[in-house]
């Protein structure tokens, strides 16, 4: 596709997204960093094959495949980490405590969704990827992304005590 400099520039802009997605896939902060590093390495090795469309989707797909491979090869017992309180608390704790508590509640509800629904919400609602980009990242049709989002949002509403 392009040079090493092009790769570095393009991928650096996506590192924060990759880390957030890795965390939503049930990794600890350290595991997420390792997963992102593996993803970048694999992407670098395949950069010449990348068609230039939907960079974020391509990277998320690599990340997801790496996570699935690590789960398959891991011990049967997988530890799902607790909500990262440090990520929720920013400077000016008291003025933002109410919104942080609500964010924590939403994140906890999100963690209870099955992985395909959780990933759809993470990519479309949190990372603001288009349905097409999310479909490419998850390797499913666009209609599947839409239905997973619909079901996930309904389930979140139910779990958060909202209208159905």
Indicate the pLDDT class of residue 69, thresholds 50, 70 and 90.
confident
**What pLDDT sits at residue 40?**
93
Question: What is 1-76's CATH topology?
Answer: Rna Polymerase Sigma Factor; Chain: A (1.10.1740)
* CB 105 within 8 Å of CB 136: no
pLDDT surpassing 60 at residue 67? yes
Arch. (CATH architecture) of 92-164: Orthogonal Bundle (1.10)
pTM: 0.56
Per the CB < 8 A criterion, the answer to whether 64 and 36 are in contact is: no
Return the number of other C-beta atoms located less than 10 Å from residue 58's C-beta. 21
Residues 25/71, Cβ–Cβ less than 8 Å: no
CA distance 155 to 164: 9
- pLDDT for 79 equals 43
What pLDDT score was predicted for residue 25? 83
- Tell me the pLDDT tens digit for each residue of 99-156: 556 667 777 888 888 989 999 988 888 888 899 999 998 999 999 999 999 999 898 8
Tell me the HSE value of 64 on the side-chain side, using a 13 A CA sphere: 23
Q: Which residues contact 143 (CB under 8 A, 6 or more apart)?
A: none
Length of the chain counted residue by residue: 164
The whole-number pLDDT of residue 145 equals 94
Task: Let me know: does 25 contact 115? Beta carbons within 8 Å.
Answer: yes
The reported pLDDT for the residue numbered 36 is 93
> How do the domains of the chain map onto residue ranges?
1-76, 92-164
Give the confidence band of 75 by pLDDT, cuts at 50, 70, 90: low
> In 3D, which of 90, 78, 155, 87 has the Cα closest to residue 116?
155
Average pLDDT in the chain:
80
């Amino acid at each position: 596709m392009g040079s090493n400099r092009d790769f570095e520039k393009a991928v650096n802009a996506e590192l924060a997204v990759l880390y957030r997605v890795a965390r939503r896939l049930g990794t600890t902060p350290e595991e997420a960093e390792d997963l992102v590093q593996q993803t970048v390495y694999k992407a670098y090795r395949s950069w010449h094959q990348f068609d230039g469309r939907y960079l974020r989707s391509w990277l998320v797909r690599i990340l997801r495949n790496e996570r699935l491979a690590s789960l398959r090869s891991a011990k049967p017992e997988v530890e799902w980490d607790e909500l990262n309180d440090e990520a929720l608390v920013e400077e000016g704790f008291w003025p933002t405590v109410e919104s942080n508590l609500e964010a924590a509640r939403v994140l906890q509800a999100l963690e209870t969704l099955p992985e395909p629904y959780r990933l759809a919400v993470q990519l479309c609602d949190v990372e603001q990827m288009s349905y097409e980009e999310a479909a490419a990242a998850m390797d499913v049709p666009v209609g599947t992304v839409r239905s997973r989002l619909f079901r996930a949002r309904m389930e979140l509403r139910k779990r958060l005590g909202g209208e159905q």
